[in-house]
Structure 1
Amino acid sequence: MTGTRTAPRALATAAAALFAVTAVPPAAGAQEGPKAPEEFVSLRSVDPTILQDMRYATAHNFLGERVDGYRQPLCVLTRPAARALHRAQERLLRRGYSLKVYDCYRPQRAVDQFVRWARDPDDQSMKAEFYPRVDKSRLIPDGYIAEKSGHSRGSTVDLTLVRLPAAPTRPYRPGERLVPCFAPQDKRFPDNSVDMGTGYDCFDALSHTDDPRIGGVQRANRQFLKRTLGDLGFVNLPEEWWHFTFTPETFPDTYFDFPVSERSLSGAR
C-alpha cells in the first residue's frame, strides 16, 4: 500500500519511457489493409498507465518471430473491454499493482500463421521454452492452437499483474538459451510480473488456472487476478491463467483481420 497515491503518475511516466508505441514499417509495397470498426480503440487512449508487453510484435513468442498483422506493439480492443480494464486498473493501482497486457485484438492472419506453424514439424526453435513437454503434433488436437480465436473478436485480452514500482525488463535476444516456461521464476525468462507459476503462453497443463499443483503465492496471484477482472465482467479461460474475455462481447460472432496499428483505427482516438 505504500506510495499508492503517486503510483499512477509514476507509472504513466515509466510507461511512456519504456513502452512507447513505435511503428514497425510493413514490407515495401504492402497495403494498409482493412480498417477497424468505430467500436475499436487503442488501450493506451483509454488508460495509458496499463503496461504493454506485446509479445507477438516481437520475436519472443512460440514462433520465434514477429507475427503476421502486428505492425506496431499496440493493444487494440473494443471500447467496452478497454474501459473495463481501465476500471480494473484503478482498483489495482490503489493496492500497489498494475495490469500488463501481452496480447489484445489478434488479426485472423496471425491465427492462420499459428496454424501453419503448428503443422510444420521441422520448426521447433522455441520448443525448449514454450512447449518442452508437449509434442508439437499435439498442439492443435490438444487445443493449444485453434483455427479461430476469441482474440480476433476484439474483447479478449492476455494479461498479468505487476507489483509497483515496475522493475525494468530486458529485451529477448534471438538465439539466447531458452528455459522452460514452468521453471522457477528466477530461472525462466525475466518478466517483471508477479509469480503466476508459469510464464505467458506456456503450453502445459500447469497453465490451467486451477491446476492443483499450483499453490501458495502463485495460486493466490492467479486468484487475485481472476477475482479482480471477474468483478468487472471478464471471464477467464480455465486452460490459461492469463486469458480473459469481457462479456457481453461487442462482436460475439465476427473475426476481424485488420492489422494491429494506429492507422487501422478510425480517426484519432
Structure 2
Amino acid sequence: MTNPSPMPAGRSPLAGDAFSSARYKSIARKRAPAKAGYLLAFGLFVAVSGIAHADQPPDLSPARTSAEANLVDIRTLVPDIAEDIKYAGRDNFVGAPVDGYRAPKCFLLRPVAEALARVEHDLRARHLRLKIWDCYRPARAVADFVRWAHDLGDQRTKAQHYPTLDKSKLLGDYIAPVSGHSRGGTVDLTLERCAAENAHCEPLEMGTDFDYFGVRANTDTPGLTPQQRENRSLLRSAMEHGGFQNYPLEWWHYTFTPEPTPHTIYDVPVQ
C-alpha cells in the first residue's frame, strides 16, 4: 500500500491491512477462508472492515498447483537464503502448524521472487542477508487464523504475541478474512548481519518479534532505541530499492509493486 489510510482511534494497527477502497492495495494479515466459503468470507471482511465500495472483489484462482499459479520457491533462485517459515511449525501466534503449510517453504509469484533474489544479492555485498518468515499464504491458512481467533480458550501464545490485548479483541481489528499474502506478492522478513565471509549471521535487533500484535510493531513507532530504528530503516531502504513497499504498521511486511495479480488470491498448498 502506497498511502495507508489513517487508522481510526481505537483500531489496531493491523486493521488497515486488507484491500484499500481505491485499488485493493493493503497488505497485512487479513485471513481468508477458501473455496466454497470464500464469498461468505468476503462479505464478512466488508462488514468487519467497514468498507463499502463498487471495486472488484478479489477472485479465488482455480490453480491447483504452484506451477499453475506461477508460484516459485525462492530457493530455486537463491538456494541458501535464510528461512524460518513460522506457519509451517509451532513457533507462531496460533501455536501449531497452520492449514495449507505442508512444508517450510517460501513461494512467491515469479516476478516477485526474482526481485527478492536481487535484494538478497545486493545485501550480500554489504555482509547482510535477508531472513524470511512468510511469503505466499494459502487462503485456507487465513481461514485457520480465523478459527483460532474464535477459540478464546486457547491462550498459549498470549505472552509472546498479544501480551497487552484480550484475545476477544483480535478478530476484526487484528485478524480479518482476506490476506494480501494470498496474492503471492508479499513477504515477511528481517535482516541478518554476517561475518566477513558471509557466514555466522545474526539477526538485527528490530524491537519486536515477528507477528507482535501491538503498536510497537509499527515501522516508525516511538520508543525504539536508535539502533532498532536504524535497523528497521536499513531493511526498508534495501527492500524499497528492490521495488517493495513497506506496510507502515508492520516493520517486517513488504509487498512488491506493482503487484502481478492484484485482484487474485490463491489456495495452493505450500509443499
- 1:121 and 1:254 map into 2 onto residues whose CA distance is 31
Distance apart, 1:90 and its partner CA: 1.2
Distance apart, 1:140 and its partner CA: 2.4
Letter in 2 for 1:210: D
The equivalences for 1:111-190 within 5 A come to 111-142=142-173, 144-165=174-195, 167=200
Partner of 2:17: none
Distance apart, 1:48 and its partner CA: 1.6
- 1:230 and 1:221 map into 2 onto residues whose CA distance is 14
- How many positions carry a matched residue from both structures? 205
Partner of 1:203: 213
Partner of 1:230: 240
1:132–1:38: structure 2 CA closer, same or farther, 3 Å change rule? Answer: closer
- 1:126 and 1:43 map into 2 onto residues whose CA distance is 29
Q: Deviations over 1:81-132 (max 9, x none)?
A: 1111111111110111100100000000100010111111111111111111
- 2:245 and 2:118 map into 1 onto residues whose CA distance is 15
- 1:38 and 1:58 map into 2 onto residues whose CA distance is 24
Letter in 1 for 2:268: F
RMSD (Å) for aligned C-alpha atoms: 1.4
Q: Structure 2 unaligned segments of length 5 or more: list them.
A: 1-62
Distance apart, 1:38 and its partner CA: 4.9
Partner of 2:96: 65
The equivalences for 1:6-85 within 5 A come to 34-36=64-66, 37-85=68-116
Distance apart, 1:141 and its partner CA: 3.1
Moved over 6 A (4+): none
Q: Structure 1 unaligned segments of length 5 or more: list them.
A: 1-32, 169-191, 262-269
Q: Deviations over 1:186-212 (max 9, x none)?
A: xxxxxx411000111111110000001
Letter in 1 for 2:236: K
Q: What percentage of residue pairs aligned between the two structures are identical?
A: 49
- 1:233 and 1:135 map into 2 onto residues whose CA distance is 37
- 1:234 and 1:228 map into 2 onto residues whose CA distance is 9
Find the residue that maps to 1:100 and give its secondary structure. strand
Q: What is the TM-score normalised by the length of structure 2?
A: 0.73
Distance apart, 1:167 and its partner CA: 4.4
Q: What is the TM-score normalised by the length of structure 1?
A: 0.73
Partner of 2:268: 258
Partner of 1:178: none
Say which structure, 1 or 2, has more relative contact order (CA 8 Å, 6+ apart).
2
